[in-house]
């Protein structure tokens, strides 16, 4: 495999790509070889919370489950932030128990995410997916131990080039999420922004994969 896609909602079965496919408890599919599973803040439902958390717990011991998520906080939705925080914390505790990294969705709540990480004393790797903010936010997250994953916004926001270029080589990933571009196209752009050959970028990301996910599936 030449590419690692940190976060995607589409399992393409491309033999050149290790895809970390996002799954939700209510629609969990056991046949996907590498996945994350979590309760997205958009889909928090109190009446199904116990069942959803149990589904997550039941799958975390599988070798195919590489991470918890995506889960997180979003201040632009109607779900009460207090409830979002409760659900996030329960998932982070499961991640700690099963030693799984976490894929995080965060909109307008970076300070809250950082505070929760500190309060729960989370030691598992935590990745902010779809990062699109400025250098100040990036550095604050890096300072607090987070990894950053970049996707479609590298194409859509030219100002993100300098932010991405400044991220240390051992702290970033790339992802397609729901975008129409391919992971190959994203790697090509990222290599251009980093001013390094594609093969060197691939090596850096695989090193990060090995560090965070502690597997060797290249």
181 carries a ligand binding annotation: no
105 carries a ligand binding annotation: yes
With tokens 């408890």, the residue in question is: 25
Listing DSSP states for the chain in one string gives --EEEEEES-----TTEEEEEEE-GGG--TT-SSEEE---GGG--GGGHHHHHHHHHHHTTSTTEEEEEEEEEETTSSS-HHHHHHHHHHHHHHHHHHT--EEEEEES-HHHHHHHHHHHT--S-EEETT----HHHHHHHHHTT-EEEE-THHHH-TTHHHHHHHS-TTSEEE--BT-SS-HHHHHHHHHHHHTS-HHHHHHHHHHHHHHHH-----
129 carries a ligand binding annotation: yes
Binding residues: 70, 105, 129, 177
Binding residues for a divalent metal cation: 70, 105, 129, 177
């Amino acid at each position: 495999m030449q590419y690692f896609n940190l976060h995607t909602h589409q399992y393409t079965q491309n033999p050149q790509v290790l895809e970390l496919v996002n799954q939700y408890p209510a629609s969990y599919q056991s046949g996907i070889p590498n996945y994350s599973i979590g309760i997205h803040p958009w889909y928090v439902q109190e009446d199904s919370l116990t069942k959803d958390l149990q589904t997550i717990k039941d799958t975390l011991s599988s070798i195919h489950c590489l991470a918890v998520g995506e889960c997180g906080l979003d201040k632009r939705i109607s779900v009460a932030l207090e409830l979002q925080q409760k659900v996030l914390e329960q998932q982070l505790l499961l991640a700690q128990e099963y030693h799984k990294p976490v894929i995080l969705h965060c909109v307008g709540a970076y300070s809250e995410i950082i505070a929760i990480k500190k309060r729960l004393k989370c030691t598992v790797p935590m990745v902010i997916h779809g990062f699109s903010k400025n250098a100040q936010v990036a550095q604050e997250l890096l300072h607090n131990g987070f990894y950053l994953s970049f996707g479609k916004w590298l194409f859509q926001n030219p100002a993100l080039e300098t932010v991405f270029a400044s991220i240390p080589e051992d702290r970033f990933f790339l992802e397609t999420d729901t975008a129409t571009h391919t992971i190959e196209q994203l790697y090509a752009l990222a290599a251009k922004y980093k001013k390094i050959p594609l093969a060197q970028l691939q090596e850096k990301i695989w090193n990060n994969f090995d560090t965070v996910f502690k597997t060797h599936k290249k």
